Structures are given as C-alpha cells and as structure tokens.
Amino acid sequence: MKKDAGKPNQTVRGILCILLAAFFFSLMSLFVRLSGDLPVMQKAFFRNLVAAAAAAGLLLRSGGDFRLHPGCAFTLFKRCAFGTAGLLANFWAIDRIGIADANMLNKLAPFFAVIMSIFILKELPGLVDILSVAVAFAGAVLVVRPSAGLASLPALVGVAGGFFAGLAYTYVRKLGSMGERSGIIVLCFSVFSCLVCLPFLLFDYHPMSGRQWLLLLLAGCAAAGGQLSVTAAYRLAPAREISVYDYSQVIYAALLGILVLGEWPRRLSVLGYAVIIAAAAGRYLYGRKRGAAGKETL
C-alpha cells in the first residue's frame, strides 16, 4: 500500500521534470540558432561537451562513483546510440528545412516513446494516454504550420530524429527501472556523442568568434539541464503518463521567439498553444482522478 501511495507523487515529480527539460531544450535551440552558420558536428560536439562536464561535476560532488549499475551496460549503449542519432538528425534537419518544421518533426519523439514503451517496457498505454498525445501533436502541427516541403529527404531525416529520440527516452525509462543513476546516463550519452563528433570536428573545424563560443557554451549548459531533467522525468514515471507534457517546449520556444527574436505567433499558432495546454491539463486531471479513485479502493 505504501508503494502504491507513492506513485502519484512520482508522476507529479516526473511531470515537473519534463516541463523543466522542455524549457532547457528551448533555450538550447535558441542559443544554437543564434550561434550562426557552423557545421552540425561542431555544434553537437560543444553542446555535449558542456553537458558531459556538468554531469561529471555532479557525480564528483555526490561521491565520485562512476561505476555502471550491474547489467546496464548494453541498455546504456543503446540509449547513447539512439540519442546521438536523434540529436544529429534533428540538427541536420534544422539546417535544411528550418527550425519550425524541424522542431515539429522532433516533437514526434514523445509519441514514439509511448509506442516503443509497449514493445520494450511492456507498458500498455490507455485510451486517454493515446488521445492526449495525439491531441497535443495536433496542437504542435498548428503551431509550426508545416509546409509542403516536408515531403523531402531532410524531412524524413527529421522524422527519423524524432523516432530515435523516442527510442532513447524509452531506454532512459528502462535504465531507471534497472537502478542506473541520472548522472551516469547523461555523462555516458554526452561522452559518446562527443566521441562520435570528434573525428568530423578535427577535419572540418570552423573558427568561431567570442560570441559564438559563448552561445555554444550557453547551449551546452541548457542541454545539460535538459538532459538531467528529462532523464529524471523518465526514471520517475512511465512515458504514457508524462510524455504529453514535452509539448510545452513548443510554447516555451514561441515565448522566446517573441522576447528575443521578435517573432510574433500567428492566430493559428495561438490556437495550437491552447490545444497543447488543454491536452496536458486534461491528461493531468485524468491522472489525478484515477489516482483518487485508486486510493478509495484501498
């Protein structure tokens, strides 16, 4: 009974973590955009280098134990590989079809996370889970107004990025159930990504101005915050209960666009924000009602 009573609190904490992660990732996208015309591998390398340093610092502060939890190595490798593939695909698509379309395609990740959780974690989503993700995704489509150019190779790469990111989130959830720590998951992913990008960086490095260095440093800090938050979120709660809240990133990005870039949303975008908020609020209220009903039966 005590274990069941703790589940609602775990879910609320997971929701808060994923909302925080969405904010950090919105900041990361802004800083990456402001950094200008640099190779994808160079942006990805510095983004993950800072995240690796942050994760290592947190581990040192908590005792300096860098050992993997027994039995987690192969699952951790899959999280790193799929996460790196998703990151690179998303960055590559942004340079070719624009931030708005690429971000919409990347928002397929929570949808894929719910689907892949069925096969990898045996977590079956309910009808409300499926509907909330579908409604939130429809809201994201309204916000970004995808163009006819989506039927292209860059767009397919963007879809692949969302799929790989969804797979990575699913393995984060699995690692959490296996007892692996968030800091280790983030550190291994960041180091793995840096190693993948390093050979390309050595042969195609573009000199950067002081402003670009600062922006990529800030992007890396935001990415570290996002990685730690999203890792904690999927360790705390199943994808079917929290993934819909990842769409709040669309709202954060719109607000940052207004405040920093002077990009005011169209009326269709505002409708999309309302749909996203309604989906998240509906899912949350349903979860609270179901949790209250569960308590009454105890």
Asked if 174 and 239 touch (Cβ cutoff 8 Å), the reply is: no
Share of the chain above pLDDT 70, in %: 87
Residue 92 has pLDDT above 70, yes or no: yes
Quickly tell me which residue has 């150019």 as its tokens.
149
Angstrom distance (rounded) from CA 32 to CA 91: 9
The tokens for 179 are 């007892």
pLDDT band of residue 79 (cuts 50, 70, 90) is very high
Asked if 63 and 222 touch (Cβ cutoff 8 Å), the reply is: no
pLDDT of residue 84: 94
Nearest to 40 by CA among 158, 163, 148: 158
Query: What is the mean predicted confidence (pLDDT) over 124-148?
Result: 76
Residues 32-73 pLDDT 10s: 888 888 888 999 998 889 888 888 888 888 777 788 888 889
Q: Kindly give the interhelix angle for 182-203 and 153-177, rounded to the nearest 10 degrees.
A: 150
Share of the chain above pLDDT 90, in %: 16
Of residues 295 and 240, more confidently modeled: 240
Query: What is the mean predicted confidence (pLDDT) over 81-87?
Result: 94
Q: Is the dihedral of CA 105, 106, 109, 111 positive or negative?
A: negative
Residues 104-123 pLDDT 10s: 777 777 778 878 888 888 87
pLDDT band of residue 156 (cuts 50, 70, 90) is confident
pLDDT of residue 85: 95
pLDDT of residue 7: 60
Residues 200-241 pLDDT 10s: 988 889 999 999 999 988 988 898 888 788 878 877 887 677
Asked if 10 and 170 touch (Cβ cutoff 8 Å), the reply is: no
pLDDT of residue 199: 93
Residue type, 181: R
pLDDT of residue 8: 61
pLDDT of residue 195: 95
Residues 141-153 pLDDT 10s: 777 666 655 556 7
pLDDT of residue 141: 76
Q: Is 98 exposed, middle or buried (0-12, 13-18, 19+ CB in 10 A)?
A: middle
DSSP states of 168-230: HHHHHHHHHHTT--HHHHHHHHHHHHHHHHHHHHHHS-----HHHHHHHHHHHHHHHHHHHHH
Report domain extents, the chain: 2-297
